[in-house]
Amino acid sequence: MDYEALLPTAEDSAGPSWARSDWPLPANDDLTRALDAGDILISAPAKAAAKAAAAGASPDAIARAAQDSISALMLIRTYRVRGHLAANLDPLGLLVRELPADLTPDYHGFKDGDLDRPVHIGGALGLQTATVRELVTILRANYCGNVGVEYMHINDVEERRFIQDKIEGASKEIQFTALGKKAILNKLVEAEYFERFLGRKYVGTKRFGLDGAESMIPAMESIIKIGGALGITEIVFGMPHRGRLNMLGNVMQKPFRIIFHEFGGGSANPDDVDGSGDVKYHLGTSTDREFDGNKVHLSLAPNPSHLEAVDPVVLGKVRAIQTRTGDVNHVKSMPVLLHGDAAFAGQGIVAECFGFSGVTGYNTGGTVHFIVNNQVGFTTSPQFARSSPYPSDVGKIVQAPIFHVNGDDPEAVTFATKVATEFRQKFGRDVVIDMWCYRRF
């Protein structure tokens, strides 16, 4: 091949006859630059303004803003972990609870002059920015009111966020509709006047009354109603003798004439049934209740005088029901165990039941534990009965969330049972409610 023939000639270098001397345009021409994507500069107006503002901020201001955000988030976390220590729980006011130092803004570096300065908190408490004063107001309302929550010992992030979504934020006040308040009041009146009637009609008769802890009754109603709405069709209760007669009459709907017949010396059994029977505050029963079209079968297990001995019986019964009905996800049947504060902290069988709660062969999908914390074990004060600050601390061995609540606030108690029941149904784990109350007699 003649390669020299392929080389450009002088005529080729001159270009075609139609070539123009002013074309192509020089590289620095405006039109050429417009066609070159690499030279296109597009700046969003908002970003440009932000860059200008940032450029004007001093290093000291930037450092202070960053430190404020870090300190504010640490303050929020401290309330999540330790806010319950400042909650208003004791209806008698016997326990004097001072605000822990690490729940104050000063502990986290905020002085009086810093309280009204906006701080960026990145969505915590549902806010992007807030003043320190606003933060403290919200946190004390959420964590230091009549409900105190312990949940930061839980490893699962989703479980912690679930509880935060229920209790955290400026709008998370405990509120019920007028109809809801009437329903709570109605059950509260029923519970209180039942005890008053027995106290006047059968003076001096042993009855282990619920006097001082009447909020337990609307709480049990709430568990049944919320549970039914969430798919529960059967609930098995286990409880001690204190409050059992009230539970039998006002929740389990055992006819009052039968209860009063037993107070009058009559037998709970038909005449043709042999045996000595049992005392009236050891008996159980079963019934069907319906809320909003949801039918729930209820059973209350009988129990001996031995406190907490009924716990594994209830758990075994629920597991048997789940096995028999094919409830492999444990979402149709639920155990509810009521406890006294001294027995919950002192009886080893409670810890044993917690220990089995997550074992495959024994799991029931979570138990709602309700402690009637009347702050006395027969005649022993708490400081002489246990080493832990709360009777509910044993629940932490399975990372159960714990709701401490003032028993003189029935709306707060009902709210706690609602969240606890929802938690059990969603995560299939144990949950503890510690209702602080008192024993009037």
Task: Let me know whether 152 and 212 are in one domain.
Answer: no
Q: Please indicate, yes or no, whether residues 420 and 388 belong to a single structural domain of this protein.
A: yes
In a domain, 255, yes or no: yes
**Distances from the Cα of 35 to the Cαs of 20, 26, 30, 274, in angstroms?**
21, 13, 9, 105
Average pLDDT over residues 159-169: 97
What pLDDT does 94 receive? 86
End position of a domain, from candidates 161, 194, 227: 161
Q: What is the dihedral of CA 134, 135, 139, 144, to 10 degrees?
A: -60
The whole-number average pLDDT for the span 71-76 is 97
Q: Is the pLDDT of residue 100 over 60?
A: yes
- pLDDT surpassing 60 at residue 158: yes
pLDDT at residue 264, rounded to an integer? 80
CATH number for the domain that contains residue 149: 1.10.287.1150
Q: Is residue 53 part of a domain?
A: no
Q: What DSSP assignment string belongs to 325-349?
A: HT-TTS-SEEEEEEEEHHHHHH-HH
Kindly state whether residues 123 and 193 are assigned to the same domain: no
Q: Of 28-37, 44-53, 401-410, which one has max mean pLDDT?
A: 401-410
- The pTM of the full predicted model, rounded to 2 decimals, is 0.85
The DSSP symbol for 165 reads H
Phi, psi of 200 (to 5 degrees): -90, -35
201 shares a domain with 139: no
Tell me, what's the pLDDT at 34? 52
Q: What percent of the chain has pLDDT over 70?
A: 85
- CB 217 within 8 Å of CB 190: yes
Do 213 and 323 fall into the same domain? yes
What pLDDT shows up at residue 49? 52
Is residue 376 a part of any domain in this protein? yes
Label residue 23 by pLDDT band (50, 70, 90).
low
Q: Give yes or no for residue 267 having a pLDDT over 80.
A: no
CATH (domain of 395):
3.40.50.970
Alpha-carbon distance values, 56 to 22, 49, 53, 60, 292 (Å): 47, 11, 5, 12, 62
Q: Does one domain contain both 200 and 154?
A: no
Specify the range with the lowest mean pLDDT, choosing from 7-11, 120-124, 212-216: 7-11
Q: Do the domain assignments include residue 1?
A: no
Does residue 348 sit in the same domain as residue 242?
yes
What does pLDDT average to over the chain?
Answer: 89
In this predicted structure, which of 8-22, 225-239, 289-303, 330-344 has the lowest mean pLDDT? 8-22
Residue 80 lies in a domain: yes
Q: Is residue 168, in this structure, part of any structural domain at all?
A: no
Nearest partner of 76 among 183, 186, 169, 205, judged by Cα: 169
Say which range, 11-20, 98-107, 305-314, has the weakest mean pLDDT. 11-20
Same domain, 212 and 345: yes
Residue 98: per-residue pLDDT: 85
Give 433's strand partners: 370, 403
Q: How confident is the model at residue 17 (pLDDT cuts 50, 70, 90)?
A: low
pLDDT value for 282: 84
274-333 pLDDT, tens digit each: 655 677 778 899 999 999 999 999 999 998 889 999 999 999 999 999 999 999 999 999
Rounded CA-CA distance 152/168 in Å is: 14
For residue 281, the model assigns a pLDDT of 78
My answer on whether 110 and 192 are in the same domain is no
Q: Is the model more confident about 4 or about 379? A: 379
Whether omega for the bond prior to residue 24 falls within 30 degrees of 0, making it cis, is: yes
Judgement on whether residues 408 and 383 belong to the same structural domain of the protein: yes
Least confident range of 42-56, 203-217, 282-296: 42-56
Q: pLDDT digits over 308-321, tens only? A: 999 999 999 999 99
Tokens standing for 209?
Answer: 């009354």
How buried is residue 265: exposed, middle or buried, by Cβ count under 10 Å (0-12/13-18/19+)?
exposed
Please tell me the chain's helix, strand, coil percentages from 3-state DSSP, rounded to the nearest 5: 45, 15, 40
Calpha distance 421→367 (Å, rounded): 9
Residues 143 and 182 in one domain: no
Rounded CA-CA distance 389/82 in Å is: 13
- pLDDT on residue 44: 53
- CA distance readout (Å), 33 to 42, 46, 382: 14, 26, 84
Residues 410 and 263 in one domain: yes
Q: Residue 250 phi/psi, 5° resolution?
A: -95, -15
Distance CA 206, CA 165 (A): 45
Q: What is the pLDDT of residues 331-389, one digit of tens each?
A: 999 999 999 999 999 999 999 999 999 999 999 999 999 999 999 988 888 889 899 99
Considering the domain boundaries, does residue 347 fall inside one? yes
Structure tokens at 111: 């002085």
418-441 pLDDT tens trace: 999 999 999 999 999 999 999 987
The whole-angstrom separation of Cα 239 and Cα 247 is 9
Q: Is residue 48 part of a domain?
A: no
48 pLDDT higher than 60: no
Domain boundary among 114, 132, 161: 161
pLDDT above 60 for 53 = no
Measured between alpha carbons, how far apart are the two ends of the chain, in Å? Answer: 121
Choose the final residue of a domain: 126, 161, 196.
161
Domain count, the chain: 2
pLDDT classification of 96: cutoffs 50, 70, 90 = confident
**Which band of pLDDT confidence, cut at 50, 70 and 90, is reported for residue 245?**
very high
One-letter identity of residue 11: E
The pLDDT value given to residue 345:
95
Domain interval for residue 68? 59-161
